[in-house]
Amino acid sequence: MHCHLIPGVDDGAADERTAKQMLQMEYADGVRRIIATPHYRRGMFETPMETILKQFKVLQDLAAQVADDLQVELGCEYHSHLEMTEAMLVHERPTLASSPYVLVEFSSRHTYRNLWNQVCSLQQEGFEPIIAHIERYPCLREHPERLHDLADQGIFLQVNAGSILGEDGMGVKRFCKRLLQEELIDFVASDAHDTDKRRPNLGKCAEYVTKKMGSNYAQQLFQKNPAKIGV
Ligand SMILES: [Fe+2]
């Protein structure tokens, strides 16, 4: 529910060959349903929807070549700005797989107040905000108690598989371990961008979480919660 597999629309898969390899890697990892979430960020990633839809069709065709039971749907990783809620209300960018879920990203400069106001504003309009890679933001890293407030408010929290596995350093790994132990995480995603440094890695992470936390929580994170994202 957070990955950059659509070829040529953002800083994810550079071409069709890479996109197909990434699909093959996801499939080998046990993934059967993928929501591709190209970046939208004002002034940085503003690929027209027409291009995204065209390239998404290409990704669907590639998925059909990889396996009959590999499903690909469309979403967006939306970088927060002041008019985001209004933009979502007029369908400027897609929600996750046509559901009420919206994947929202912040920058490390956003304050907690910015973040809180944004997710609450989305929620008031009927969206279900999911905060992308919560382990990245200083305003949450330095005040983990805020994650409980967000969870109590019904905001969903996503962590990257690589962060759980220690690919972003021991500090991030420790932080994620604590989040897992407190069962604060709702979604784990690959946030895959390529076949190398930021490759699909959900299989390895699911194995790790099962070993550390048991199969119940692992199933919730990797199967039950993602299954709720849909029409
Ligand atoms: Fe991403």
Radius of gyration over alpha carbons of the chain, in Å? 17
CATH number for the segment(s) 16-227: 3.20.20.140
Residue 4 Cα to ligand 1 midpoint, Å, equals 7
Across the chain, mean pLDDT equals 96
Output the CA 225–ligand 1 centroid distance in Å. Answer: 19
Q: Residue ranges of the domains in the chain?
A: 16-227
Q: What are the helix (H) ranges across 32-91? A: 49-66, 84-89
Which residues neighbour ligand 1 (ion) by CB within 5 Å? Answer: 77, 191
* Unique residue bearing structure tokens 């990434």: 22
For the cut 70, the answer to whether the pLDDT of residue 175 exceeds it is yes
Among 5-14, 157-166, 222-231, name the one with the lowest average pLDDT.
Answer: 222-231
CA of 187 to the centre of ligand 1 (A): 13
Per-residue pLDDT averaged across 53-70, rounded? 98
Report pLDDT for 230.
Answer: 85
Which residues does 89 contact at the CB level (< 8 Å), separation at least 6? 125
* pLDDT of 104 above 70: yes
pLDDT for residue 187 is more than 80: yes
How many angstroms is it from 22 CA to the middle of ligand 1?
15
| Per-residue pLDDT at 118 exceeds 70 | yes
Please tell me the distance between residue 197's alpha carbon and the centre of ligand 1 in angstroms: 14
Q: What is the pLDDT of residues 202-217, one digit of tens each?
A: 999 999 999 999 999 9
